Copies of this chain bind each other. A is one copy, B any other.
């Protein structure tokens, strides 16, 4: 149990952080009390915006002493309400937005040291300024911050080649719940000194401490890129094509995204200025990007060869390689407009599931059939990161039904059904978004006793007073796990 902060503590914090770092003004707090998707509403006693790691350490020391809950917040772009405070209003929001310095940039080391509040697109710009790039990007890049991206182990469209956020983190500086500073910022490519606390803090959703800065891997800037749009009939053929491309180009393939025909149709209907890249409609579409550093062979050559062979032997039906950057952008716009087109079309029960890559074609086909049979009239729209075994598997209401009422009534049952389908294939109910608040119940239901016991033991060990982001990620002891083995 955490406590309500008393006036003395709030005064102490106000003096510590100054007027830029402390506010209780409801107008200042309002934007930070509701989650990104507008579904979860919380309350907070104050908004703290420390300007340094030392200030964060002092805040946590005080919070631990007074047993007051801290909710760390970056850009507040969580898809699972992971940064939204509880409704009781006793928590303090700790925003990292004033800690937005890029402390160092090294082209020689291929490392950027960024504070937690650095916005992703600012990091992209900084890396570009030294001829490098930070190879992780996602739709909220103009708002999402480094601290939040690490805490949720964010994914995006380049995971195929470079992995998720945790693979790009070379070092972390964090404040532990005790107020002690963990300085693991040094960007070592090899370091075997005990349990990897950096990897434990990555993906911990702020429940084990506050990440204040990170050393991040940079890679060479893109010299040339080739973007292709592919039409095909069988989802299984997409995996075969991916393996052919990998064999022919090494790790040049950075994105391998799938969009079904009805998804492309939605985009063409709702997003002005879009047009289909291929003459005919195809059951499935792929967006493929391959890149090469400056001076290397044009990736369009090997991409073109593989796609040409695949058309010739009937693996795929058609393909187009973008002739220029404008066309490449227009291909990407089709993929990136999927969520917006879907939203314009109506509400959906959304899922962010993963299965082993080779199991994904069957999951797409059989999963869709199973959902539409179990919930008659519903329409499945699954699209996304096929090369990572991760799709956004969304279920829309039956036509003619009030989608809000349907979601209210059937949403939980649909989600449990989809999550169980993924679990039955060895998959995960959260590939990218984390657990936060909105997936906590389904996670508790499916995690199994070994995983749950380990998570709770770690949480209790590092945050014994339970002040860090309570109610997120770690199911409470009342959540009863079912089944034998953990998944």
A contact residues vs B (CB 8 Å cutoff): 106-111, 152-153, 155, 159, 163-164, 166-167, 176, 178, 180-197, 199-200, 202-204, 208, 220, 239-240, 243, 246-252, 292-297, 302, 354-358, 385, 388-390, 426-435, 443, 447-451, 453-455, 457-458, 460-462, 473-474, 485-487
Q: Which B residues touch A390, using CB under 8 A?
A: 189-190
A111→B356 contact, CB < 8 A: yes
Return the chain B residue nearest A240 by Cβ. B108
Instruction: Please give 8 more A-B residue pairs, beta carbons under 8 A apart, in addition to A188-B428, A189-B357, A250-B292.
Output: A106-B358, A163-B167, A176-B454, A181-B486, A183-B448, A186-B427, A186-B428, A194-B204
Q: Which B residues touch A294, using CB under 8 A?
A: 247
Docked CA distance A185–B448 (Å): 14
A193→B435 contact, CB < 8 A: yes
5 smallest beta-carbon distances between A and B, as pairs: A186-B426, A461-B461, A457-B461, A190-B431, A180-B450
Docked CA distance A251–B187 (Å): 19
Return the chain B residue nearest A459 by Cβ. B195
Question: Would you list 14 pairs from A and B whose C-beta atoms are within 8 A, ordered by A residue?
Answer: A107-B243, A109-B356, A109-B357, A152-B192, A153-B192, A155-B190, A159-B190, A163-B167, A182-B454, A188-B431, A190-B431, A190-B432, A250-B250, A460-B461
Docked CA distance A208–B457 (Å): 12
Given contacts A190-B431, A389-B189, contact A486 B183 (CB under 8 A): yes
Return the chain B residue nearest A205 by Cβ. B194
B447→A193 contact, CB < 8 A: yes
Q: Which B residues touch A430, using CB under 8 A?
A: 191-193
B191→A220 contact, CB < 8 A: no
Docked CA distance A389–B190 (Å): 8
* Chain A residues touching B, majority SS: loop
Q: Which B residues touch A187, using CB under 8 A?
A: 356, 426
Q: Which B residues touch A194, using CB under 8 A?
A: 203-204, 435, 443, 447, 451, 455, 473-474
Q: Which B residues touch A111, using CB under 8 A?
A: 356
Given contacts A296-B302, A431-B190, A431-B192, contact A197 B451 (CB under 8 A): yes
Docked CA distance A393–B69 (Å): 47
A77–chain B nearest beta-carbon distance, Å: 15
Docked CA distance A486–B202 (Å): 18
B182→A450 contact, CB < 8 A: yes
Given contacts A454-B462, A461-B458, A486-B182, contact A193 B293 (CB under 8 A): no
- Most B CB contacts (10 A, CB to CB) among A193, A199, A251, A486 go to A193
Given contacts A194-B451, A196-B202, A454-B462, contact A159 B189 (CB under 8 A): yes
A217–chain B nearest beta-carbon distance, Å: 10
A304–chain B nearest beta-carbon distance, Å: 14
Docked CA distance A427–B185 (Å): 10
Q: Which B residues touch A427, using CB under 8 A?
A: 186, 188
Given contacts A220-B247, A297-B297, A462-B457, contact A193 B426 (CB under 8 A): no
B203→A192 contact, CB < 8 A: yes
- Most B CB contacts (10 A, CB to CB) among A153, A239, A247, A431 go to A247
B195→A455 contact, CB < 8 A: yes
B193→A220 contact, CB < 8 A: no
Given contacts A192-B432, A202-B196, A462-B458, contact A250 B388 (CB under 8 A): no
A239→B108 contact, CB < 8 A: yes
A250→B248 contact, CB < 8 A: no
Q: Which B residues touch A189, using CB under 8 A?
A: 159, 354, 357, 388-390
Q: Which B residues touch A106, using CB under 8 A?
A: 358
- Most B CB contacts (10 A, CB to CB) among A108, A208, A302 go to A108
A195→B188 contact, CB < 8 A: no
A131–chain B nearest beta-carbon distance, Å: 8
Docked CA distance A240–B246 (Å): 29
- Most B CB contacts (10 A, CB to CB) among A110, A155, A180, A434 go to A180
Q: Which B residues touch A449, using CB under 8 A?
A: 180
Q: Which B residues touch A220, using CB under 8 A?
A: 246-247, 250
Q: Which B residues touch A246, using CB under 8 A?
A: 220, 293
Given contacts A178-B453, A250-B251, contact A428 B486 (CB under 8 A): no
Q: Which B residues touch A181, using CB under 8 A?
A: 450, 485-486
